Amino acid sequence: MAKQSHLFRFTPKGHATLGLIGGASYFLLVEHREHLFQFLPYLILLLCPSMHLFMHHGHSRLHHQSSSSEENEAYRRGCEVGQKNAKDKREC
């Protein structure tokens, strides 16, 4: 029998965690709205570095090594054409 991988949110612990997060969010929004909105600008500033950490994961070196040779060849041809065009513009 093959081992099946389950997402965390579909396990009982995941349901409990999501319930706790939902309850805490509701409590913050209902009871502590003033405190939450007071720190909102700082939360937005903290989102910027976290977005860079989590959204740029595809720019790793491993990703570029796994690209096909056709893509690499097209990139080289494009670079050569760009360099040739730059030299032609300088000669004018």
Per-residue pLDDT tens for 3-18? 566 788 789 999 999 9
Q: What is the pLDDT of residues 45-86, one digit of tens each?
A: 988 888 888 887 666 555 555 456 667 888 888 888 888 888
**Domains contained in the chain, number:** 1
| pTM score, whole prediction | 0.39
Quick one: pLDDT at residue 67?
Answer: 55
41 domain-assigned: yes
86 domain-assigned: no
For the chain, what is the HEC assignment? CCCCCCCHHHCHHHHHHHHHHHHHHHHHHHHCHHHHHHCHHHHHHHHHHHHHHHHCHHHCHHHHHCCCHHHHHHHHHHHHHHHHHHHHHHHC
Does position 91 have pLDDT exceeding 90, yes or no? no
Does position 39 have pLDDT exceeding 70, yes or no? yes
Per the structure, the complete domain to which residue 49 belongs is given by: 7-53
**The two structure tokens encoding residue 37:** 């909105």
91 domain-assigned: no
